[in-house]
Amino acid sequence: MNKLRVSDYMTRNVITLSPESSVDEAIALITETGHDGFPVVDERKRIIGYVSARDFLRKSPEAKIKEVMVQTLYVAREYMDLRDAARVMFRTGHSKLPVVDSEGKIVGIISNSDVIRSQIERADPEKVNKLKKTIEKVHNTKVEITHGEVDVKKLIPTQTKVYADELKGRVYELRRGLAEPIVVIRKDTRIFLIDGHHRVVAARRMGIKKLDAYIIVVPDEVELGIEKLSKKKGLKSITDVEIIESVPHPLVEITLKNIK
């Protein structure tokens, strides 16, 4: 299967600064966004520098960003192997790399958090292909995989609960445009949600109507076990999924116990 690329996990909506912005404006932006640094771009969106919170130490609030920014930059390209970008960050001590096109224009930013995220709960093509092969083997049929958007309201869940603490992370990912595609099975007019329940519940809370998805299309005559499960549990829409507020996600609970 295809290797993971920087383009698969980078943030495309990048907050930038102008070289004519002031240190005071940048500090206000840090307070507003929670980010610790920003790429600096010219009027053509070409990256010309980078500033982080430490660059503002002992600097006048009125000083221009062009006076304090770092101009020697490490950058990444969309087509780079994600592991190569991770090596650059590790070896240079950078937590983020601006992503630029062939003209030096900024198109995204990749962080060490994105690299970590790529290794957990990853809904990559390989995972989807394994599910496809399992369905084909169990039901002696052929199915196809497509990639597109699905309507959140039309999704039929296949698990009964999600955890409130986990939802916070999914809300963060959705706001930053970092959420992985969900995985669904489409059969006749129904769409069963297989992977991504926390993402879908978070999207519904945020008023997001459609989500990116890997869609496994199954022939109408095939009777899936998930159909029986959803029917037995009374799951008809995402509103039927219970949000557990008082109990942390099992992985979080185990971690806390180990710390104690």
Kindly state the tokens that stand for 200: 């879908």
CA 42-48-50 angle, 5° bins: 115
What is the rounded distance in angstroms from the CA atom of residue 31 to the CA atom of residue 8? 28
Please give the pLDDT value at position 171: 86
Q: What is the pLDDT of residue 257?
A: 43
70, 49 Cβ separation under 8 angstroms: yes
**What does the pLDDT read at residue 246?**
64
- List, in sequence order, every residue forming a beta bridge with 191; answer none if it has no partner: 155, 186
246's enclosing H/E stretch is none
For the beta carbon of residue 107, count every other beta carbon within 10 angstroms.
Answer: 19
Taking only the tens of pLDDT, the chain with its 260 residues reads 457 889 888 888 899 999 999 999 999 999 988 888 999 999 999 999 999 998 998 899 999 999 999 998 999 999 999 999 999 998 888 889 999 999 999 999 999 888 877 765 555 677 788 889 999 998 899 999 998 999 999 999 999 998 888 888 888 888 877 678 899 999 999 999 999 999 999 999 999 999 999 999 999 988 888 888 888 889 999 999 999 886 554 544 444 444 44
Examine domains 6-117 and 125-259 and report if their fold is the same: no
In the CATH hierarchy, which fold is given to the domain comprising 125-259?
A: 3.90.1530
Q: What is the pLDDT of residue 9?
A: 83
Report how far residue 74's alpha carbon sits from residue 99's, in angstroms, rounded to the nearest whole number.
9
User: Which pTM does this prediction carry?
Assistant: 0.57
- Name every residue whose Cβ is closer than 8 Å to that of residue 118 and which is 6 or more positions away in sequence: 4, 8, 9, 82
- 35/11 Cα distance (integer angstroms): 13
- pLDDT attached to residue 39: 96
Block residue for tokens 């970092």: 178
Cβ atoms of 211 and 200 within 8 Å: the answer is yes
CA distance linking residue 191 with residue 128, whole number of Å: 16
pLDDT at 114: 82
Q: How many CB atoms lie within 10 A of CB 207?
A: 7
Per-residue confidence (pLDDT) for residue 175, from 0 to 100:
82
pLDDT at position 77 is 95
Q: Which two structure tokens, joined as six digits, stand for 181?
A: 């595609």
Domain ranges of the chain: 6-117, 125-259
Domain 6-117 has CATH 3.10.580.10: yes
| pLDDT value of residue 253 | 44
